[in-house]
Amino acid sequence: MKGWTLDDSARVWVHVANRRMTKDEACKVQLHLDQFVAGWQAHGAALTAQALVVNGWMVVLAVDERPQQPTGCSIDASVSALKQIASLHPSMVDLDVFDRMAVLHRPTSDTPWRRTPLSTFWAQRKAGLVDDAEQVFDTTVSTLGELKTRGVVPMGTSWHAEMW
């Protein structure tokens, strides 16, 4: 995961889009998020934060909690900023980063990412179409360090495998 300037201890929130963003859409989202994090505050104190669009599929927000921790209100503000994505451009009205009932995966690092509904993913697993080597994106990571080291893992070593 390139482009991060925050410490690995920074807290992260990972949101997977319901579809891959075009390059133009990803640029619009990145600009929107850059503007948001530049003014993101918790009880009037600036948050040391960063946001990145990753691979056109994910939106990741990160906050260095050492100088100032985010609060409920500041987290609510981030949710509001993410909801505004759909209104940035008419082509993005269907873009949703809040549906957690899907898996972002790919057979190998040389193949494109796919987003598959959880029920379909499990059916594919049961049918032998998804094996332990399938790469999955773990959206449950909580720090930037975890995102960098285990954001993408083989299915067999992820929480997804525990479902079987």
If you write DSSP's letter for every residue of 44-70 in order, what string do you get? TEEPEEEEEEETTTEEEEEEETTT---
| Res 161: pLDDT | 79
Nearest partner of 33 among 65, 62, 68, judged by Cα? 62
Distance CA 114, CA 111 (A): 9
Give the integer Cα–Cα distance in Å for 32 and 21.
14
DSSP strand pairing (48-54 vs 102-106): unpaired
Name, in order, each residue with C-beta under 8 angstroms of 30's C-beta and a sequence gap of 6 or more.
51, 52, 53
User: One digit per residue, pLDDT tens: the chain, 164 residues?
Assistant: 678 999 999 999 999 999 999 999 999 999 999 999 999 999 999 999 999 999 999 999 999 999 999 999 999 999 999 999 999 999 999 999 999 999 999 998 899 999 999 999 999 999 999 999 999 999 999 999 999 999 999 999 988 877 76
Please report which helix (H) or strand (E) contains residue 152, including its range: strand 152-154
Domain boundaries 11-92, CATH class: alpha beta
**Predicted local distance difference test score (pLDDT) of residue 65:** 97
Residue 76 pLDDT: 97
Domain boundaries, the chain: 11-92, 102-163
* pTM (predicted TM-score): 0.91
